[in-house]
Amino acid sequence: MGGKRSIIILLGVAILFAFLPFGLPRFYTYLTALIVVTGLLSTSLNFALGFGGIFQFHHAVFYGAGAYGAAVMIAKLNYNPWLAFIAGPLVAAALSLIIGIICIRLSKLYFGMLQISLGSLVWVIVYRWYSFTGGDDGIHGISVPSIISSSKGAYYFTMVTAGLAMFFMYRILHSPFGSTLQGIRDNVLRSQAIGVSVRRHQLAAIVIAGFFAGVAGVLFVVVDNSVFPDMMFWTLSLEITIMALLGGWFTFLGPMLGAAMVVLLRTFVSAYTEYWTLALGILLMLVILFLPEGVLGKVFEIWNRRGLTEDRG
């Protein structure tokens, strides 16, 4: 039924992406890779926010931690890049564990605010530690292994890694853990009543989300060969939340779609005007006012109503 069709479509998509660098100019290869990295980041945010119901208000910190972790290891400490690529997400996961443990005893809004405070502390330290992190300048020209340093190489590495990451997140969400997590999101008291350790599940969700944000950070280093403090700034955290919202945060692929929309909007609109932020702001306003489930969510709602989903056959 749906299963076989899904696989064929996925295969089609995979083939399309595999041949994209050969069909389009190099700029689009770079752009696609960037979209996928951003989409992965937004999906990891949504893992905690949309599926876990956790007020993950400063997710960008983990993205930056993964990126800076890898960047500093390669550029300042001269480690083997492959080691650095593995270390990056681990740094991000460790940071999310620490921040998670500190914040978890608070609920909802206070959790979010403490996370913003801790995240801002990490940001400001990175921002001022000029000798170690490059401070305001960031670190540029980070050398990556030559197989993946070309546009095509970076592209394929990104697609494969992101694809795996998305796959793992998907599997986790559709596992018993994932169901419990969503149950906690919907009703904390009931979950507690049936004996679920709410805090442990939420902490695990935060660490998983942070880990994959770190993966996105490392991929950014591969694609762009640079890191900069804005990767950890609160505006980025909100931007990726917007992407999740735009695309539909109760769906798995919504954030990826939202990321594509925002990055393309930025590239497309910037070619004509310098006021693309205005365009994004207005778009966000319209979505909040008229389309709070996001684009994908709205589409599903329409399809559901018209009986076009698999369940109705």
Partner 1 sequence: MSFMEAFCSPGVLCQILLGLSRTVILFIVASGLSLILGVLRIPNIAHGSLYMIGAFMAYTVSRVFGGGTLGYWMAVLLAPLGVALVSFIIERGIFSRLYEREHIMLFLLTFSFVLVFGDLVKLVWGAEYRSVSMPGFFQGSIRILGLPFPIYNFILLLVGPIVAVVLWLLVNKTKIGKISRAAAVDREMVGAVGINVSLVFCIVFVIGCFLAGLGGALVSPIVNVVLGMDHTLIMEAFLIVIIGGLGNIWGALLGALIFGLTQSLGILVWPQFGIVFPYAAVIVVLSIRPTGLLRSTW
Partner 2 sequence: MKKAAIMGMSIVLLGFLGVPFSFGAATIKVGFVDTYSGPPSVYTFDVLDGFKMAIQTINEKGGVLGKKIEFTTRDEKFKPDVGLAMAKELVMKEEVDILAGTINSSATLAVSDFAKREKIPFICTFAKSEKITGEMGHRYVFSVAENTRMIGKATAQMIAKKPYTKFWVAGEDYEYGHAVGEASWRYTKAVKPEAQLLGQTWWKVGEADLAPYISPILQAKPDMLFMGTGGVGNLNFLKLAKAMDLMKQVGIILHTSIELSNLQALGQDGPEGVMGTVNYLFYYPGTPENKAFVDEFRKLYNRPPKVGALYGYAAAQLIARAYQKAGAVDREKFITAMEGLTVDSPVGKLEMRACDHQLMLPMFFGVTKKSPQYEYLIAGDTVTIPGKDYLPTCDEILKVRK
Chain residues binding partner 2 by CB under 8 A are: 2, 5-6, 9-10, 13, 16, 24-28, 30-31, 35, 127-128, 130, 134-138, 140-141, 151, 224-226, 228, 230, 251-254, 256-257, 260-261, 264-265, 267-268, 271, 274, 296, 299-300, 303, 308-309
Cβ 120 vs Cβ 58: under 8 Å: yes
Measured from the CB atom, is 22 or 272 closer to partner 1?
A: 272
Query: Binding of partner 1 at residue 33 (CB under 8 A)?
Result: no
Greatest alpha-carbon span in the chain: 61
**Cα distance between residue 78 and residue 89, in whole Å:** 18
Q: Where are the alpha helices (DSSP H) in the chain?
A: 2-23, 26-49, 60-75, 81-103, 108-128, 130-133, 151-173, 176-186, 188-193, 198-224, 234-247, 254-270, 276-290, 294-305
Among 170, 169, 197, smallest CA distance to 184 is for 197
3-state secondary structure of 227: strand
CB of 135 to partner 2, least distance (A): 5
Q: Which segment (21-29, 175-183, 256-264, 277-285) binds partner 1 by CB under 8 A? A: 277-285
Q: Residues touching partner 1: how many (CB under 8 A)?
A: 37
Among 75, 5, 80, smallest CA distance to 226 is for 75
Q: Which segment (35-43, 199-207, 281-289, 298-306) binds partner 1 by CB under 8 A? A: 281-289
Which amino acid belongs to residue 260? Answer: A
Tokens 């917007």: give the residue. 242
Q: Which segment (139-147, 208-216, 221-229, 283-291) binds partner 1 by CB under 8 A? A: 283-291
Query: Binding of partner 1 at residue 268 (CB under 8 A)?
Result: no
**Cα distance between residue 162 and residue 43, in whole Å:** 11
**Cα distance between residue 208 and residue 212, in whole Å:** 6
Cβ 132 vs Cβ 69: under 8 Å: no
Structure tokens at 311: 């369940």
Q: How many CB atoms lie within 10 A of CB 257?
A: 21
Measured from the CB atom, is 112 or 247 closer to partner 2?
A: 247
Query: Binding of partner 1 at residue 235 (CB under 8 A)?
Result: yes
Cβ 239 vs Cβ 88: under 8 Å: no
CB of 85 to partner 2, least distance (A): 20
Q: From the list partner 1, partner 2, none, which binds 182 (C-beta under 5 to 8 Å, kind-based)?
A: none
Q: From the list partner 1, partner 2, none, which binds 28 (C-beta under 5 to 8 Å, kind-based)?
A: partner 2
Binding mask 110-129 for partner 1 (x = CB under 8 A): x--xx-xxx-xx--xx--xx
Binding mask 40-79 for partner 1 (x = CB under 8 A): ---------------x------------------------
Q: Which segment (30-38, 79-87, 211-219, 273-281) binds partner 1 by CB under 8 A? A: 273-281
Among 186, 230, 206, smallest CA distance to 102 is for 206
Binding mask 139-178 for partner 1 (x = CB under 8 A): ----------------------------------------
Residues in contact with partner 1 by CB under 8 A are 55, 102, 105-106, 109-110, 113-114, 116-118, 120-121, 124-125, 128-130, 233-235, 238, 241-242, 245, 274-275, 277-278, 280-282, 284-285, 288-289, 292
